[in-house]
Amino acid sequence: MGKERDNENYEWRLMLKKIDFYIIKLQILPFLGSILVITTVLLLDKIFELMDLLIRKGVPIDIVLKLFIYALPFILSLSVPMAMLVGSLIAFGNISQNFEIIAAKSCGISLKRLLLGPIIFAIIVFSFMVWFNDKVLPESNHRFKNLLIDIYIKRPIAQIKAGLFNEVGNYKLYIGNKEDRSGYIEDVRIYDISDYGKTFITAKYGYIKSLQDSVLIFDLRNGQIHQFLDGFVDKYRIVSFDNYQVIVKLDISMQLREREFRGDREMSIAQLLEEYKKKKEEYEKTNDSELKKYQKKRMNQIMVEIHKKISMPFAAIVFVILSAPISSMIKRGGFGPALGISFIIFTIYYIFLIGGEELAKKNLINGALAMWFPNIFFFIIALYLIKREEY
């Protein structure tokens, strides 16, 4: 009798393990496919920017490819949790559509028990993404920024936007149209900031040339120089020219210093904790109320970045728990419905995340709470829906 019971228990546990692996198997392929699709969609905006650098601004293809590679980890940090939601919705949607959830319930297997395998898989993904966000993402962000600085130093023309006012050296300039490869420019207006705007240069067209020592030469054609006369407010002279050059010396010292500096998104958790420790010591030592207010705000900003590296990967676990009752209710599988539901959920999640981040960085709410609130919100909804489905 005892052996028969042991055999029954063994067979029952074996069956539950098979169910766990079965659901995980249904989950993995949609999860991987969703990563590819979501990452591609999120990368589209970056791809257009990179193609602009390559085609219009003449940045070498190897540099553009490096920028693409360095931008990819940030996109993956967003797409992986969302892909976990899509994959889980498809997996549970398929077994719900095939009435396998009903069959499991009739055998005494609860919806919570069916979640065990997918949750274990989500924990593995969560652990990997915490490591990824801590080690890979900060370094890629830092290299991406440094490479953009390199492009600015070596190709400053690429940074000048047509149709907008640009501040370059001691000048503010407006260019109506610009061809990045040839350097041809049209409808040029240049204000000399160094003499308090007393000199204003216009030209119908011209060319921009860049020298290696961070010097820009504006070779202007068919224009005028408008200049206020010293000592007179309402009198100025106009000089017409056929050809005139404006030489602009760029100050790259700030960019060079920034190469060593790391922003919050370029730091690991250990580096952020070290920064937090320094700010806390400064906060405890100072008696200046305004300085204490700034330091407290800065500490909260650091806490936002620390907790974001963990809370966003943790969303993968929350989304798995949420996916089971939703799929059980809608009883539909397939990529389309799963992607539609995921888009709505992740949009709400991201609004809470960004909103909380902005409030925390203004020191209006606690940084840790701001980053964990979306997870807490959806976890409570998931528990409510599971309870509702089981009774």
pLDDT tens per residue across span 2-11: 555 656 676 7
Task: Note if the pTM is more than 0.85.
Answer: no
Q: Residues of the chain with pLDDT > 70: what percent? A: 85
Phi/psi for 184 (5° steps) reads -75, 135
- What was the pLDDT predicted at 109? 77
Give the Cα separation of 173 and 167 in Å (integer). Answer: 6
Beta-ladder partners of 188? 175, 203
Beta-ladder partners of 179? 184
pLDDT tens per residue across span 102-156: 777 777 777 788 888 899 999 999 999 999 999 999 999 998 888 877 776 666 6
The predicted model gives 236-263 an average pLDDT of: 73
Token code pair at residue 52: 């602009």
Give the Cα separation of 104 and 108 in Å (integer). Answer: 7
Q: What is the mean pLDDT of the chain?
A: 83
The predicted model gives 216-237 an average pLDDT of: 77
Confidence at 31, pLDDT banded by 50, 70, 90 = very high
- What was the pLDDT predicted at 32? 93
Q: Centre a 10 Å sphere on the Cβ of residue 338 and count the other Cβ atoms it contains.
A: 27
